[in-house]
Amino acid sequence: MSLPGPLDDATPPDAAPGRAASRSRPIGATAGARPAPGPDGAAVAERAPGSDPDGLEGRPSPVDGPARGSWSPPPVGPRASSSASARLRQRIDRLTKPLGALGRVEALMLQLGLLQGRVDPRLEAPQALVFAADHGLAARGVSAYPPEVTAQMVANFVAGGAAISVLARQHGLGLTVVDAGVRGTVPPGPADAAPTAVARLVRPVGPGTADASEGPAMSPAQCVQALELGRDCVRALPGNALVLGEMGIGNSSAAALLTARLTGAPLDDCIGRGTGLDDAGLARKRVLLARVAARHADARGPLEALAAFGGFEIAALAGALLQAAHERRLVVVDGFIVTAALLVAHALRPAVLDACVFAHRSDEAGHARALAHLGVEPLLALGLRLGEGSGAALAWPIVASAVALLNGMASFEGAGVSGPAGSEGGA
């Protein structure tokens, strides 16, 4: 049995407004514009005033709090109907295997086909996108590493020495690292380092967020700017699949606060060791985060909580997730911090989950709470807590294999293999 081509009642992926035209432009630039050089020579692209490639300005939005009336998440439309799902399920079931024998890989096949509106989905020019930023709260000792490690790791990403750099090379993922608000100067890489294909974009919302124990981590304007940064980055990237990651000393604290606030879980159940705090450090972190949560007790909605707790990279991830789902790009979600950003996106547009594959269950305490709230099951459980998108990159071959199997396996009819007893077309 062969069922090539688009599902008959699904909107093709490229129907998202503005998508095709935006891919050839620098991030945030209008057609023909060139990004201006930043202080360190890296490209800094400024969004044109009033630019709205998707035509979304002025639409009503359910957003809350600091961004009420000033930011609208992109629409995430309905996916294929039940008839399209049945058609795709039939194709999967006619492959030369017992029914359901590929387990959760078959669920991936179905998800990818429905996302793209095709019985033969494709993965084109997959991209790893990593946002980096600093957190004012890091000065309070919530991490085992000093704040300057954020900038140092950005340099390591670009030099090709970080885990995500290695995995992106191994799996053929384009890698873009976005400075969304790294405090201080990113050091140059080693003089003898081999050239890499990593793109570094400098688009800081500010020099790190403010200390959330003293006030909101972000102003309303900064929150919106970071969300739009994430959207702009996705608009400019080629391909139809993303691996998302992050870097920011202190960001497991922001993720814990967001997870507790948006899921209703006890804060203590969402706080973990992050970069490897010892018992005394973990105890200090618990006390401090309880004080931060109490200070921002009125920040209940997703954008209110996002502005209160930060950070710039988490807000950019939320914007990226929403834009990717709007464009019907597949997103492989990494660990705790990316999932915290997804909690924000999901609260604004629940259908964002249709585009998401969950890579792994992190060793961070709050990740299981976030996954349970979303009602999802990740592909892997390896005890990871590195971030960077490393877990998502490790899961990428499973996603790629699902597509290869769906498109490459023969049907019972095509291979001349007898199907299940009593089935139509069994030889």
The catalytic residue among 106, 228, 246, 388 is: 388
Enter the tokens of residue 171: 């799996």
Three-class DSSP labels, the chain: CCCCCECCCCCCHHHCCCHHHHCCCCCCCCCCCCCEECCCCCEECCCCCCCCCCCCCCCCCCCCHHHCCCCCCCCCCCCCCHHHHHHHHHHHHCECCCCCCCCHHHHHHHHHHHHHCECCCCCCCCEEEEEEECCHHHHHCCCCCCCCHHHHHHHHHHHCCCHHHHHHHHHCCEEEEEEEECCCCCCCCCCCCCCCCCEEEECCCCCCCCCCCCCCCCCHHHHHHHHHHHHHHHHHCCCCEEEEEEECCCHHHHHHHHHHHHHCCCHHHHCCCCCCCCHHHHHHHHHHHHHHHHHCCCCCCHHHHHHHHCCHHHHHHHHHHHHHHHCCCEEEECCHHHHHHHHHHHHHCHHHHHHEEECECCCCHHHHHHHHHHCCCCCECCCCCCCCCHHHHHHHHHHHHHHHHHHHCCEHHHHCCCCCCCCCCCC
Task: Starting at the earlier edge strand, list the strands of the sheet with 127-133.
Answer: 199-202, 174-181, 127-133, 241-247, 330-333, 356-358
Residue type present at position 292: V
| Adjacent-strand bridge partners of 380 | 360
87/231 Cα distance (integer angstroms): 33
Give catalytic status of residue 388 as yes or no. yes
Buried b (16+ CB within 10 A) or exposed e, 174-194: bbbbbbbbbbeebeebeeeee
Catalytically annotated residues: 388
